[in-house]
């Protein structure tokens, strides 16, 4: 695909790349291994996800957040309030949706699922956690696969579904220190109850053998979905397999959580950029 002729649209895509590079470096690195002609569209997709995910961080209470989400719903449904061109992420993602015929329902479902982030409600159970991860992260894998397929049917819906849950659960475990500090608990209630861990234990940052056992269960959940995603990768169109590259980082993250001295409330689980890039390169060769 040629570069967009509209300078404002070109600027919007450049903004999306800058946002992805700064705030979602792992996905930005993965985009380097995608065909050059679609990278800007992947950047738009990930910048959209970032914009939605960060609303909790920039509003003082849920009401302004709900208003932001409603603005996004209207924009996605073609009835925006205000000038879309003034919002670079909206401009780029709407252009991408049109270019590839992406299902708008997947975007509005993602917005609806993220409403959970505005409140401090507990995550009831594993089933609800998987549903949340599916509407948010699995949707990104699926939409990226469609983009890489040129707008065609990429297949592998189950594969991308499991991929999103694996990646999102690992990400939520990595983000536990930040979520706990602001009173959010994404760890499923049924798992916590089984091990005798309370919400107060999480938000107060109290570690214990019981919490360690609960977190081990969630790492096992992430690995189960990762294995299922790997098993179903052959059902995904070859051109779309680059959408799965971020999965290369899941197992290394989980392994770092199992190192001696790991503190779920204080340890920062990350990889040096050189290692992340090498893992993504190796994964791209396999794909």
The answer to whether residues 94 and 159 belong to one domain is no
Q: For 49-101, what is each residue's pLDDT tens digit?
A: 999 999 998 988 899 999 999 999 999 988 766 677 789 999 999 999 999 99
- Here the tokens at position 115 are 């409403």
* CB burial of residue 204 (10 Å; 0-12, 13-18, 19+): exposed
Residues 26 and 104 in one domain: yes
254 and 151 co-located in one domain:
yes
Residues 203 and 250 in one domain: yes
Domain C-terminal end among 119, 150, 181? 119
Number of Cα atoms under 13 Å in the Cβ half of residue 168: 25
Whether the full predicted model's pTM is greater than 0.75, yes or no, is yes
168 shares its domain with 274:
yes
pLDDT above 80 for 2: no
Average pLDDT of span 13-32? 97
As separate numbers, helices (DSSP H) first and strands (DSSP E) second, the chain gives 16, 0
By CB atoms closer than 10 A (0-12, 13-18, 19+), residue 132 is buried
Looking at residue 160, what is its pLDDT?
Answer: 98
Measured in whole angstroms, the distance separating CA 281 from the mean position of its chain's CA atoms is 20
**How many CB atoms lie under 10 A from the CB of residue 206?**
14
Is pLDDT of 1 > 60?
no
Nearest to 221 by CA among 171, 256, 266, 267: 171
**160 and 226 part of one domain:** yes
The reply to whether 72 and 193 lie within a common domain is no
What residues make up the domain containing 74? 1-119
Together in a domain, 59 and 200: no
Instruction: Determine the 3-state secondary structure of 87 from DSSP.
Output: coil
Domain final position from 75, 95, 119: 119
Report residue 5's pLDDT band, with 50, 70 and 90 as the boundaries: low
**Integer Cα distance of 38 and 272 in angstroms:** 26
- Residue 282 token pair: 């190796």
Instruction: Verify that 140 and 275 share a domain, yes or no.
Output: yes
**pLDDT at residue 287, as a whole number:** 74
- The count of structural domains within the chain is 2
**Domain-terminating residue out of 80, 100, 119:** 119
From 59-73, 140-154, 248-262, the region with the lowest mean pLDDT: 59-73
> Do residues 192 and 267 both lie within one domain?
yes
Domain co-membership, 205 together with 74: no
Same domain, 86 and 17: yes
User: What is the chain's mean pLDDT, rounded?
Assistant: 94
Domain harbouring 173, CATH code: 1.10.600.10
Confirm if 54 and 127 have CB atoms less than 8 A apart. no
């Amino acid at each position: 695909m040629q570069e967009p002729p509209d300078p404002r649209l070109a600027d919007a895509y450049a903004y999306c790349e800058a946002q992805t590079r700064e705030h979602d470096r792992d996905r930005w690195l993965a985009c380097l291994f995608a065909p050059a002609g679609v990278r800007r569209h992947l950047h738009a997709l990930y910048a959209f996800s970032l914009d939605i995910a960060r609303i909790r961080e920039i509003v003082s209470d849920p009401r302004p957040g709900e208003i932001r989400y409603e603005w996004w719903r209207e924009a996605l449904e073609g009835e925006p309030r205000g000038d879309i061109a003034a919002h670079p992420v909206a401009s780029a993602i709407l252009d991408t949706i049109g270019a590839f015929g992406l299902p708008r329902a997947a975007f509005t479902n993602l917005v609806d699922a993220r409403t959970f982030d505005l409140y401090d409600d507990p995550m009831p159970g594993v089933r609800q956690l998987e549903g949340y991860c599916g509407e948010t992260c699995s949707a990104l894998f699926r939409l990226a696969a469609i983009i890489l397929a040129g707008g065609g049917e990429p297949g592998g819906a189950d594969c991308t579904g499991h991929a999103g849950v694996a990646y999102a659960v690992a990400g939520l475990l990595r983000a536990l220190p930040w979520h706990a500090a602001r009173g959010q608990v994404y760890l499923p209630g049924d798992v916590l109850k089984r091990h005798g861990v309370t919400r107060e234990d999480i938000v107060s940052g109290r570690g214990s053998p019981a919490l360690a056992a609960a977190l081990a269960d969630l790492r096992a959940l992430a690995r189960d979905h990762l294995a299922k995603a790997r098993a179903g990768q052959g059902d995904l169109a070859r051109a779309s397999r680059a959408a799965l590259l971020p999965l290369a980082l899941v197992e290394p993250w989980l392994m770092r959580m199992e190192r001696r001295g790991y503190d779920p409330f204080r340890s920062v689980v990350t990889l040096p950029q050189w290692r992340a890039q090498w893992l993504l390169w190796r994964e791209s060769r396999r794909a």
